[in-house]
Chain A
Amino acid sequence: MARFCSLPEAIAAAVADGDTVAMEGFTHLIPFAAGHEVIRQGRRDLTLIRMTPDLLYDQMIGAGCASRLVFSWGGNPGVGSLHRLRDAVENDWPRPLALEEHSHGAMANAYAAGAAGLPVAVFRGYQGTQLAEVNPHIRSVTCPFTGETLAAVPALRPDVAVIHAQKADREGNVMIEGILGVQKEAVLAAARAVVTVEEVVDGFAGSHPNACILPHWTVAAIAVVPGGAFPSYAQGYYRRSNAFYRSWDGVSRERESFQAWLERDVMGAGPEAFAVHATRVA
């Protein structure tokens, strides 16, 4: 049963040191405000799961929240490297980061398996690649019907899933529109889920019958954080700030400039600072 509360309350109740946390959103609806709250609450030793770690996990890794990363593509899309991720992997700064590296196909299947309550995801993939040599979770099974060798990875079952969505209704049902990514699967695979939303509406009357809606009983807590996906975007609300993504390359390149940003824009700010980005697209 979804509980409406503040973002600090929602994160404090859901995320503890050492947890396995999946904060999803595929370019779209990335839960930045929630991630910043995890940083402010000083969480440590998290296993962070995300197909595309993106700027959000670059920030959380640079802030020292993570000891392990499960992922499939760790770059700044169209721009270049994630410098904080690379500094952690290449130089152990601010602390060592263990990697569990997959392909997108494997991660997507592993979330779907988690949502389906299965222990394993089986798919056709990884043939001839060396990823299995560096990731002991990449194995294979033989199809009992055809004899075909298929890839197998463990289902993803995070302790916590955190997503951002456009809307919740007053009962706490959550609607996602546009590029859906793996958010539905992440929420259903997780033991508990926290959702930030742009706004609360009276109901979803008039929505398409096939709309992507997470019933309120699949979500632990909802916090209303307008602009909470900035600098990613919320379809129908605001656009992706490609300018921020490009400027992050300079901000994150050196430890000093990153830490100055962290102090000013995360430690010295709160969820309400995101509201300025929530201007509706014409």
Chain B
Amino acid sequence: MNWTYTELMTVAAARLLDDEDVCFVGIGLPSAACNLARLTHAPRITLVYESGTIGTRPGVLPLSIGDGELCETALSTVSVPEIFRYWLQGGRISVGFLGAAQIDRHCNLNSTVVGAYNKPRVKLPGAGGAPEIASSCREVFVVLPQSPRAFVARLDFVTSFGHGEGGDHRARLGLATKGPTKVITDLCILEPDPDTKELAVTSLHPGVSADQVRAATGWPVHFAAQVGETAPPTDNELAVMRDLHRRTAEAHGAVEVA
């Protein structure tokens, strides 16, 4: 089957998850990836959405973080203060999935503003749960399409702390969690160097050249000593993902138009 790089990005993210994971899931690509994992190789995975739904098994992807489908299919639904206090801050989440408008070489994330905060060129939606997802989950996967506008040398604003200035910066702030361990884009997979914590490309998607990745990155991007090739999506992964997106489009289109 033919596939797109956006589809491979979702598939590659899904493959990082397993049955033992407890995932704090954001809307959009993370939600698609987590549910694809659940519908393929990780049927026992626990998905937690910040609206308070624990162990939810939606049949279609939610448009918003608190759609009724999430509550109706959840093991339990708790209040928003409880989900952030007991479950996220309490250290119960193994993987947090984050997107962002901008990322830098040390995996710090901006979802607050483009331009100066007090004179914004674009006011972005803001932090949401991200700062504490980045600090409290045992590790964090970042998913976003790669472009020079998103992969920048210097963030306009640090909304969520990744590895700060690199090295042991997390430990110096008292953070015992791993922080971002993988960045999945539509071109490649990047991982922080074990010591410097600077991102390096560890896997190129099929047909993607190193120069393409360099051109889409706003800093002189590093490559690991051994760069692998991401396995293309399987027919089963594609079929399940496309079916999920089709059901989702039907469900979201089936409500009355205002």
Contacts and interface: CB of A to CB of B under 8 A. Distances in A.
B5 interface: no
B79 A105 contact: no
Interface in B244-258: 252-253, 255-258
Interface string B58-80: 00001111111011100001111
A130 B116 CA distance: 12
A87 B100 CA distance: 22
A126 B174 CA distance: 12
B228 interface: no
A218 B257 CA distance: 37
A105 B132 contact: yes
B136 A131 contact: no
B85 A125 contact: no
Nearest to B52: A179
A108 B84 contact: yes
B81 A185 contact: yes
B51 interface: yes
Interface residues of A, number: 60
Contact of B68 (A28, A82, A126, A130): A28
A104 B79 contact: no
Interface stretch (B120-128, B138-146, B212-220): B120-128
Interface string B148-166: 0000000001111100100
A93 interface: no
A241 B257 CA distance: 8
Given A112-B85, A242-B63, A104 B117 contact: no
B64 A184 contact: no
A274 interface: no
A126 B132 CA distance: 7
A94 interface: no
Q: How large is the interface on B (under 10, 10 to 19, 20 to 34, 35 or more residues)?
A: 35 or more
Contacts of B174: 127, 148-149
A26 B51 CA distance: 7
A22 B149 CA distance: 36
A245 B85 CA distance: 30
Contacts of A134: 117-118
Contact of B63 (A78, A125, A235): A78
Contacts of A215: none
A257 interface: no
Interface of B: 27-28, 50-53, 62-68, 70-72, 77-81, 83-85, 88-89, 108, 112, 117-118, 120, 122-132, 135-136, 157-161, 164, 169-170, 173-175, 252-253, 255-258
25 contacts: A26-B52, A27-B64, A27-B66, A28-B71, A73-B126, A74-B123, A81-B123, A101-B112, A105-B129, A111-B81, A125-B135, A127-B131, A128-B161, A128-B173, A129-B158, A130-B157, A134-B117, A179-B52, A180-B77, A180-B78, A180-B80, A182-B79, A233-B68, A242-B64, A247-B257
